[in-house]
Amino acid sequence: MWKTVLALAIGAWVLLDLGAALAAGDAAAGKTKSALCVACHGPDGNSANPEWPKLAGQQAEYIVKQLKDFKSGARQNPLMTGIAAGLSETDMENLAAYFSSQKVKVVGVTDAELAKRGERLYRGGSRKMQVSACMACHGPAGQGVPPRFPSVSGQHATYSEIQLQAFKEGKRRNEIMHAITVRMSNDEIKAVAVYMSGLEPAP
């Protein structure tokens, strides 16, 4: 199983999602449309609430995919489903272009020792636990691979922890992420989340 999970992770760099539309939106139009979004995600894409994701600097393709998933019900969130229901594909691409053009604010880690533990898992994984390195899909600087593998650099640790737990418990569907997180303890998940919050995005 370890080889299967590792192969899936390494293969993520070369996967082509032929069904995903490339986001080529209008950032100015996205800014105009973002009035409702900024109430939670912040006017600069950096949310004040650590339970809500920062969208600043996130890959446009990934944002579009998540909005489509909220709209279709593939990803469950009552608030976001309601918001996405009123968005056209063009709206989604414009919003994605706007938020992806912003700069994520990296505030640094809250627990240096916990971050060191998270760094070991993020960069090296664990053969004993059959957990592949996070950077195999998300990159050494947390930049990710659009549209499937998001940027995680500078993301709120609390939000990342909530999402990793959701993958682990099957509340958020993703076969690769479930296979990895189900082998991690809650403390290990927290450690990785804390480490990612301090990652500076690649220039």
Q: What is the pLDDT of residues 88-131, one digit of tens each?
A: 999 999 999 999 999 999 998 989 999 999 999 999 999 999 99
What was the pLDDT predicted at 79? 96
Q: 2-14+106-197 falls under which CATH superfamily?
A: Cytochrome c-like domain (1.10.760.10)
Q: What is the DSSP letter of 134?
A: T
Q: How far apart are CA 147 and CA 65, in angstroms?
A: 7
Please provide residue 131's backbone torsions phi and psi, each rounded to the nearest 5 degrees. Answer: -120, 120
- Examine the pLDDT at 45 and tell me if it is beyond 90: yes
pLDDT on residue 22: 52
Reply yes or no on whether the pLDDT at 17 is more than 90.
no
202 pLDDT band, cuts 50/70/90, is confident
Is the preceding omega at residue 147 within 30 degrees of 0, hence cis?
yes
Residue 185 token pair: 């303890």
Q: Where are the domains of the chain?
A: 2-14+106-197, 27-100
CATH fold of 27-100, please? Answer: Cytochrome Bc1 Complex; Chain D, domain 2 (1.10.760)
Q: Does residue 18 carry a pLDDT above 90?
A: no
In Å, how far are 20, 28, 118, 166, 194 from 33, measured between CA atoms? 22, 9, 37, 29, 32
The confidence band for 16, taking pLDDT boundaries of 50, 70 and 90, is very low
Distance from C-alpha of 115 to C-alpha of 111, rounded to nearest angstrom: 6
- In 3D space, the residue among 53, 9, 49 whose CA is nearest the CA of residue 196 turns out to be 53
Percent of the chain having pLDDT more than 70? 89
Residues 109/198, Cβ–Cβ less than 8 Å: yes
User: Is this model's pTM higher than 0.75 or not?
Assistant: yes
Query: How many other C-beta atoms can be found within 10 angstroms of the C-beta atom of residue 184?
Result: 20
CATH topology match: 2-14+106-197 vs 27-100: yes
Residue 5 reports pLDDT greater than 70: no
